[in-house]
Structure 1
Amino acid sequence: MIAPMDFDYLDDSDSSIQIGHTRKRIRRISSSEDSEVNQCGSFINENYVWKAENHTPIIHDFSSVGGATLNTQNLSRKEVFELFFNKELVTKLITETNKHGETDANFIPLTDNELKVFIALNILMSLVSKPTI
């Protein structure tokens, strides 16, 4: 065990330095023979009792329809894109990006079309592998 440092040797003439004694940490290694009460010590709460149980979760039937629930066959690519990135989301992204960019003197405010092109390019980059951006 390492003993705490003794700072008594410091010259008391400099009152700007105030160094106190370090705290001691008590570490306890428990063995499998220790009872639960001994392991928990003062952290036992009378209102809660922890015990081991074999719990089998209830698995509910999944009744929702998976995938797109909207017929997208007659929609253009732009209309499908706007189903996910609607006007409200795009406006929020632009507002927050421009708010953050105001801290940089060289920042050029972002527009709707620039953001949509950026998002579309990121989606395409996951589909079409290119060597560089």
Structure 2
Amino acid sequence: MAETSKRRSCVLSDEDIQCLVESDSEQSLPDSDFDSENELDDHALMDAAGNEGSDEDNSANQEFVWEDMENYRGQREHFTGSAGAQGPAKDVTEIVDIFELFFDKELIETIVAETNRYAEQFLRGREPSARSHSKAWKPVTEGEIYVVLGLFMLMGIVQKPTLQSYFTTKGVISTPGYRDIITGDRLELICK
């Protein structure tokens, strides 16, 4: 049985449904040879045609028309809730306390456990080469994870092209502070 690939374009309007079938070849199949996918498409089109009676469906079937914004009149939303921080964040004023609302102790413990587990799995059964930084791996601590998260936030302010460029000592592109907190190799290992 020869098959042809067909592409269907359907235009739904208020008055009728037009289905255009474009065939990639001149052969056509008898109706009984359609595969089940085409039959499902046909049934879906018939269902769409049968639902033309409701106003809701008619509005969905109408073609969208772009308009310019000159005649647009927006409606102002009326906020009815209470403004400001809610729940446990209501009385928090210290930046560290706000940070800990998002990164609580449980989340940090999970990050530490999963980072250490991944490193253990990665190193298991491997003998790192002499030049590999992974030879220096030691389990990460909660304090280091706080440092890494803090540095990531700072990297959003001081943007550089690579992770190692934050730790360079080369003159004009040097950024003091990063090297004083953690080494570039350690940060790279933790991120790996």
> What TM-score bracket applies, with the shorter chain setting the length?
0.5 to 0.7
TM-score computed with the length of structure 2 as normaliser: 0.41
Q: What displacement does 1:94 show? A: 1.3
Map Cα deviations across residues 92-121 of structure 1 (whole Å, 9 max, x no partner): 111111111112333321110000110011
| Equivalent position to 2:91, from 40, 63, 71 | 71
Residue in 2 aligned with 1:49?
47
| Equivalent position to 1:111, from 134, 138, 141 | 141
- Of Structure 1 and Structure 2, which has the larger fraction of its residues in helix? 2
Unaligned runs of 5+ in 2: 12-16, 23-36, 52-56, 61-76, 124-133, 167-192
AA paired with 1:27?
Answer: S
AA paired with 1:101?
Answer: A
Q: Secondary structure at the match of 1:110?
A: coil
Map Cα deviations across residues 8-31 of structure 1 (whole Å, 9 max, x no partner): xxxxxxxxxxxxxxxx75211447
Residue in 2 aligned with 1:82?
100
Q: Does residue 1:102 correspond to 2:120, yes or no?
A: yes
| Equivalent position to 1:123, from 153, 168, 179 | 153
Map Cα deviations across residues 14-50 of structure 1 (whole Å, 9 max, x no partner): xxxxxxxxxx75211447799549798411447x823
Q: Which moved more, 1:81-90 or 1:99-108?
A: 99-108
Give identity over the alignment, percent.
Answer: 25
Aligned counterparts of 1:96 and 1:111: Cα–Cα separation in 2: 11
Aligned counterparts of 1:110 and 1:89: Cα–Cα separation in 2: 14
TM-score computed with the length of structure 1 as normaliser: 0.55
Q: What displacement does 1:64 show? A: 4.4
Unaligned runs of 5+ in 1: 1-23
Aligned counterparts of 1:126 and 1:27: Cα–Cα separation in 2: 50
CA contact (8 A) 2:7 2:21 kept: no
Number of aligned positions between the proteins: 104
